[in-house]
Amino acid sequence: MFKRVHIHSDEVGLYFRDGEFQGLLDAGRRWIFDPLQKVRIDVASQRLPWLRHDKLDVIVKSGALAGRAQVVDLKDHERALVWIDGRFSHIPPPGLYAYWTGFKEVRIETIDARKVRFQHDDFNVIIRSQQASQVLDVCTVDRHKVGVVFKNGDYVETLPPGQYAWWRGMGDARVAEIDLREQTLDVAGQEIMTADKVTLRMNAVVTYRVVDARQSIMVADGATQSLYREAQLALRAIVATRDLDSFLTEKDAVTGEFEEAVSRRAGELGLQIVSVGVRDVILPGDMKDLMNKVTEAKKAAEANLIVRREETAAMRSQANTARLLADNPTLMRLRELEVLERVAASGKLNVVLGEKGLADRVVNLL
């Protein structure tokens, strides 16, 4: 006939009769007359963060929770940030919630999730919570990079390095990370024919960096691949207008034209060219042998020319000396004495006198 109910000081009784909510019961001991077993008392602890009950909507609509609990009804586009006793607790999904306020300090902040990107002063604290990963997609943009954000395929913004979060289920948000550091692009060896029908194999290198992250993504499907193809085409166009000799002697001009052509296309892709260069020029085997022979012949001709030039200079010097001695007998005599002095200094001098004419000549000489 009677039902005994004991409700502690930190509890509240939910009073139902014949399935209908009748009100709340405060702490205490009481007897309830229930001869037909139609009364149900559900005891809820106020020490728990929120009230969970299958008839929460009925309880809220009755107004019995006024002054006892904070009620929040989240629509599909809304999310709530819940702080309990000054500490961040969780992010409940859309639905109806009632948070007890008698024993704990509760603060609830409702946010419109249609903005997709989540921003908050306590961002770092919130994203580290365990439940945040269930409702938020967290993205980290590394150093030296920027994040290009697209929502449902449309460009939204470009983000600097840092951590960012987006609400799940509120749109297709994607972040493309773009590295802003200098990148080196190796243009692999390709066979190119010069104007005089000589086939060369060339390797080039292009150093670039991204200056417009949005443009580098939206203009082409892969800015690096587009730049690679442009570099190949530019090399072919430049080399095809020159014969082999002019190409080998005008490498600086070739590099300048190559850089100008690549820079023009790079600007359209949101890139900036730092430097370009032709790294290797590989000739066919027979052409390499022929070039070596030509070089060898040129060097031999240069060496022969130098020898002939020196011989000519020596003969010209001798002719000038002979002319000077012929015009000055005294110089001739001095020259003869120098020769005799060197001969005498180098060893023993033997003078053999013969006929009178020979002796006279020697005496005259001395």
Exposed, middle or buried, 158 (CB in 10 Å: 0-12/13-18/19+)? middle
pLDDT the model gives residue 114: 87
Single out the residue of 184, 177, 120 nearest to residue 150, CA to CA. Answer: 177
pLDDT tens for 243-266 read: 777 777 777 888 888 888 888 888
Strand partners, 193: 199
pLDDT the model gives residue 99: 93
Domains of the chain: residue spans and CATH:
1-113 (no CATH), 116-179 (no CATH), 183-282 (3.30.479.30), 296-365 (no CATH)
Q: Could you list the pLDDT tens digit for every one of the 366 residues in the chain? A: 677 888 898 899 998 988 889 899 888 888 887 777 888 888 999 888 889 999 999 999 999 999 889 999 999 989 999 999 989 989 988 999 999 988 889 999 999 988 888 899 999 999 888 878 888 889 899 989 999 998 888 888 899 999 999 998 887 888 889 999 999 888 876 777 778 777 778 888 899 999 999 888 888 777 888 888 888 888 888 888 887 777 777 778 888 888 888 888 888 889 999 988 887 777 765 555 555 555 566 766 777 788 778 778 878 877 777 777 777 777 767 766 776 677 677 666 565 545 555 445 554 544
Give the predicted TM-score (pTM) of the model: 0.63
- DSSP strand E in the chain: where? 2-7, 11-17, 20-25, 28-33, 39-45, 69-74, 78-84, 87-90, 95-100, 106-112, 117-118, 136-141, 145-151, 154-159, 162-167, 173-179, 183-193, 199-210, 271-282
- CA 320 to chain CA centroid, Å, is 74
Single out the residue of 180, 143, 154, 149 nearest to residue 164, CA to CA. Answer: 149
For residues 131 and 147, the answer to whether their CB atoms sit within 8 Å is no
pLDDT tens for 30-59 read: 888 777 788 888 899 988 888 999 999 999
The two structure tokens encoding residue 322: 């002979």
HSE toward the beta carbon, residue 184, CA cutoff 13 A: 6
HSE toward the beta carbon, residue 296, CA cutoff 13 A: 6
